[in-house]
Amino acid sequence: MNLSDPSDDDSSSDESSVPCKRPRADTYGASSTTSHGSIIQESDEESPETQFTERYASDSHRSNKIRLSYTENSPGRATRLSRSSLSENCSSPSEQYDDFRPGFKDNDSEEGSGRQSFQMSNDSTFYNKPSENNKDINTYTSGYSEISKRLMSNMGHKPGKGLGKFEHGRVEPVQASTQKGRRGLGLKPSVVGDVPQDFKWSSDDALPEAKEDVVWMPVSSEETLNGDDLEKWLKKGHKKLSIEDETDFVDPQVLKGILNSKTIFDNLDGEDMRTARSRSNPYETIGSVIFLNRAAVKMANMDAVLDFMFTNPKKQNGEPAVDKKDLLYFADVCAGPGGFSEYVLFRKGWRAKGFGFTLKGSKDFKLSDFYAGTPETFNTYYGVNNDGNIFDPANLSSLKDYVLKQTDDIGVHFLMADGGFSVEGQENIQEILSKQLYLCQCLAALMLVRTGGHFVVKLFDIFTHFSVGLIYIMYRSFEKVCILKPVTSRPANSERYLICMWKKVGTESAEKHLFSVNSILWNSRSGDDDVMELVPLSVIQEDREFYEYIYKSNCIIGERQIKNLLKIGEFSKDKTLRDESQAKMKEKCLQLWELPDKVRTKPERRGPEDTLTNVLNISKITNGIHSSYSFKNTYLNRPPRYLEQASDLRTMFANVYDWHFTFLSSGKNNSDLRIFIACGGKQVYQLEGSNWRIIADLHITLPANTLLYGEIAREYRGQGGKQMRSKALHVIDAMVLGGIDISALPLSERVNQCNLFCNALEKPDDAQALPIRCKRFFNMESFSSAIANLEYRAMKRTKKALTVDIPKRGQRNDMFYEIGSLLFIKEIKEPWIARISKKSGCKYYYCVGPDRKPRSEYYIPDKAQLDMISAYSDRVMWPWESASAIFEGLPNFPLSKVHMEEHIGLQI
């Protein structure tokens, strides 16, 4: 689209043979060629002609008042008269102002003056007299005020002729500049081209709706495709860069209309196009609301319309696909800067873990701009070649390894793909240029999505055999498939989304085949060889329901696109047009999608004290606590009770079934065992007395509004002189995790939530980030079996030490830590107690009520759940400073494992 200035050709004065020297009188006379620049001209602003007429019609106005009024009511106009246009016979520049002042008086000009005033000019009568060129005169003088006409007449102007002694001045007034911004002069006009006659847009067309109709393809009863058929169907050829003849899956008239409708904007300025598009689109004002970009709102739109199948996925039987003990895993490929992922994290918080893959560079993920959703659980990966190129087969293979390693070799619950690149000047063949992008995004879904998972990918036109064949392969690989153009996708573009639900079992053949096809395209990227078909037309047409769905979808979306392109054309021509339903659609859509109607704002960064206050407000168990200072001193700084003598066992552990324990690397009064609070990102603090100390040197990254109990543990790998040591944060318990209150849950559920939290934050490929792990707890009645797993290992600085393996998840390379103490935490609140059923062997919970009636349950009742703060205040630590003596049960030792086993044995 080129810019233009229609007045550029007439911007300079006409040339004529004028003497190079003139008498002095002419120097300040009306013959100056610059005088036309002082004439009051028309503009797009409201004309002040009425003001001038009303003011000059009254005889009671004084001349000085009139002159001031004239000046004040001419903003932005060329009201300053040039020297040469003030008087015909001024002898000096200063004299002209004396002549100018009385000229504004109403028939009160000074007598004896030889100079003409505006009222005394006899030549002004020609404006009201008929002449031979009356038509031209009326045309030329229409729209000008009487004052401007008298002014011109006073300077000797005659209609149709120029000013000056030789009447050589320009006849037409100088055109107002149409240049916009810093655009160059001389560009072509910004105009809409000829509109195709086969399609019309009418303001009477159907009113916009907030909710789209989702039409699914008929469910395929056939099995997944096998590799032999796919290999046999593959058709190669030479690269093709034309789309006009691709009419097997769309009405030829619709395809022609789409291509022709796009050409009407070839000469329309880009800014004019965007402005008209914004005014014509009923959904335009929705914008990006609280998110990074409009892509996030598109994902919210599709998620809500599809019954939140992505952020709240369900199995085919209707049961939740993700329970409370699991994370929601997702992948986001070709999707920088990350709007899709920001939306998912907005919905799920840290309970969702994402894997992002996109090109490095200006379109990379902008995690620091994830204001709506926490970015701490989002992992970026760029492949083995570290460039994020999804076309590279090596990158795809490494991406699969990376994701499966962190999802227990199962894969993600869903994958989103929103790839696209600029095709300026080649919009009509965008589909052909994007074929490998289509392919690789679908291949990524087959590689990364778990069985029963979902997939959404952005497509553009789907007219070619290659595109439809690819959709057919996905159709045979998922239980349900549809093509959807959400309302947030601008109606005049060719964008649409392929939605695939519930991946089938046995898609490995399709995955392997598409990987092979991509390798062919990758290896022939600089040549003329290409893959033309993935599935023959005959095979597609045999599946009549699939074929008709694709054909009808292309025609419906195509016709809507044409009409909206023509609508933009009309709005470009008439700048007063605006879709009146924009405000209504925004309100309805945001309500339907469950999004707040707010402006995107940067989240407030709180300090540790403010964060603690916010945590207290979030927690259900701290309703009576309003002072963060008293909360720290009363609860958080409370030391544990220490188990030192065998006689302490009876008083501390009256019922062993109520307790759980874990192994610590910290000993008594060790500073590594602390309360930690997170303000977001690397703003993590540990409590030391009444003060918070930042621990930025450890490179811990935690979501804001997190308060947990943990220790900085020393972890080891290997033995003897080759032993390596590192640090990790071991989470023991927590009150609030990333703004989610878990303080009222029983200990076993809190530990499970802490484990999910640590898994979500795990970044195995980030060498700088401090690992975060959750402690493993054991039932106290299982003390003997837990102790049996301890192992002596040769250390680098000591002969041997009693150690325990770190909690296993994936490959931890046989890492372990040295035991410094045991920590016991109670789970059951009195008067409830836990017991083991002799019949079933299961644990149950027993209580005698106020009415002295016994009550027992196989689940922990709410009244029996000991909250986090109470459990933390009542915790018991057994220091193992002499670990060997305790472990081996040496005689005459105050407290050893033998004493503990005996105490437990008496209650079992």
- Nearest alpha carbon to residue 631 among 641, 640, 621: 621
**Could you give the CA distance from residue 39 to residue 243 in angstroms, rounded to a whole number?**
55
Mean pLDDT across the stretch 442-469?
A: 98
Q: Which stretches within 129-226 are classed as H helix?
A: 134-141, 146-154
User: Which positions ≥6 away from 182 have C-beta within 8 Å?
Assistant: none
Domain ranges of the chain: 8-154, 227-248+288-546, 610-829+865-907
The answer to whether residue 322 scores a pLDDT higher than 50 is: yes
Half-sphere exposure of 844 (CA within 13 A, CB side): 14
pLDDT tens figures, 773-799: 999 999 999 999 999 999 999 998 778
Share of the chain above pLDDT 70, in %: 81
DSSP state string for 796-832? SSSS-EEEEEPPP-S---S-EEE--EEEEEE-B-TT-
Mean pLDDT across the stretch 665-683?
A: 93
**Where does 718-820 show beta strands of DSSP type E?**
724-737, 740-741, 772-774, 778-779, 791-793, 801-805, 816-818
**Residue 574: count of CB within 10 angstroms of its CB:** 11
> SS3 for 236-277, per residue?
EEECCCCCCCCCCCCCHHHHHHHHHHHHCCCCCCHHHHHHHH
Q: Are 827 and 748 in contact (CB under 8 A)?
A: yes
Inter-CA distances, 147 with 51, 55, 152, Å: 11, 11, 9
pLDDT tens figures, 590-619: 999 999 999 999 988 899 999 999 999 999
pLDDT tens figures, 163-218: 777 777 777 777 766 666 656 656 566 667 666 666 677 776 778 999 999 999 99
> SS3 for 387-428, per residue?
CCCCCCHHHHHHHHHHHHHHCCCCCEEEEEECCCCCCCCCHH
**Where does 665-793 show beta strands of DSSP type E?**
673-678, 684-688, 691-694, 706-717, 724-737, 740-741, 772-774, 778-779, 791-793
**Residue 93: count of CB within 10 angstroms of its CB:** 13
Mean pLDDT across the stretch 422-426?
A: 87
Mean pLDDT across the stretch 248-272?
A: 89
What is the structure's pLDDT at 509?
A: 97
Higher model confidence: residue 58 or residue 707? 707
User: Which positions ≥6 away from 337 have C-beta within 8 Å?
Assistant: 292, 293, 363, 364, 365, 366, 369
Mean pLDDT across the stretch 398-416?
A: 96
What is the structure's pLDDT at 424?
A: 84
Mean pLDDT across the stretch 482-505?
A: 96
Q: Which stretches within 660-712 are classed as H helix?
A: none
Mean pLDDT across the stretch 507-528?
A: 94
Chain position carrying tokens 């195709």: 196
Ranking 236-240, 525-529, 583-587, 739-743 by mean pLDDT, the lowest is 525-529
- Residue 860's SS3 state is coil
What is the structure's pLDDT at 224?
A: 93
Torsion of CA 747, 750, 751, 754, to 10 degrees: -160
Give the residue numbers marked as catalytic. 298, 418, 458
What is the structure's pLDDT at 883?
A: 87
**Could you give the CA distance from residue 822 to residue 636 in angstroms, rounded to a whole number?**
19
What is the structure's pLDDT at 2?
A: 37
The answer to whether residue 65 scores a pLDDT higher than 80 is: no
pLDDT tens figures, 843-896: 999 998 888 889 999 999 999 999 999 999 999 999 998 888 888 878 778 899
What pLDDT band is residue 275 in, cutting at 50, 70 and 90? very high
**Where does 410-473 show beta strands of DSSP type E?**
412-417, 449-459
The answer to whether residue 243 scores a pLDDT higher than 70 is: yes
**Could you give the CA distance from residue 414 to residue 365 in angstroms, rounded to a whole number?**
19
| Residue 332 φ/ψ, nearest 5 degrees | -135, 105
Ranking 219-223, 518-522, 680-684 by mean pLDDT, the lowest is 219-223
Q: Are 743 and 735 in contact (CB under 8 A)?
A: yes
| Residue 632 φ/ψ, nearest 5 degrees | -65, -50
Higher model confidence: residue 772 or residue 61? 772
What is the structure's pLDDT at 166?
A: 77
**Could you give the CA distance from residue 281 to residue 859 in angstroms, rounded to a whole number?**
55
Q: Are 355 and 398 in contact (CB under 8 A)?
A: no
Chain position carrying tokens 């795809």: 396
415 exposed, middle or buried (CB, 10 Å; 0-12, 13-18, 19+)?
A: buried
pLDDT tens figures, 354-402: 999 999 988 899 999 999 998 999 999 999 999 999 999 999 999 999 9
The answer to whether residue 631 scores a pLDDT higher than 50 is: yes
The answer to whether residue 101 scores a pLDDT higher than 90 is: no
Which listed CATH number (3.40.50.12760, 3.40.50.970, 3.40.50.1110, 3.40.50.1100) goes with 227-248+288-546? 3.40.50.12760
Higher model confidence: residue 37 or residue 277? 277
- Nearest alpha carbon to residue 614 among 675, 686, 677: 677
Higher model confidence: residue 284 or residue 66? 284
What pLDDT band is residue 552 in, cutting at 50, 70 and 90? very high
Q: Are 405 and 355 in contact (CB under 8 A)?
A: no
**Could you give the CA distance from residue 736 to residue 433 in angstroms, rounded to a whole number?**
49
User: Which positions ≥6 away from 391 have C-beta within 8 Å?
Assistant: 436, 437, 440, 518, 521, 522, 525
Q: What angle do CA 712, 714, 720 make, to 5 degrees?
A: 180
The answer to whether residue 95 scores a pLDDT higher than 50 is: no
Mean pLDDT across the stretch 51-58?
A: 38
What is the structure's pLDDT at 526?
A: 84
Q: What's the CATH class of domain 610-829+865-907? A: alpha beta
The answer to whether residue 772 scores a pLDDT higher than 70 is: yes
What is the structure's pLDDT at 193?
A: 65
What is the structure's pLDDT at 892?
A: 77
At position 692, the amino acid (one-letter code) is W
Mean pLDDT across the stretch 563-589?
A: 93
At position 318, the amino acid (one-letter code) is G
Length of the chain counted residue by residue: 908
Mean pLDDT of all residues belonging to the chain: 83
Fold matches, 227-248+288-546 and 610-829+865-907:
no
**Could you give the CA distance from residue 31 to residue 770 in angstroms, rounded to a whole number?**
85
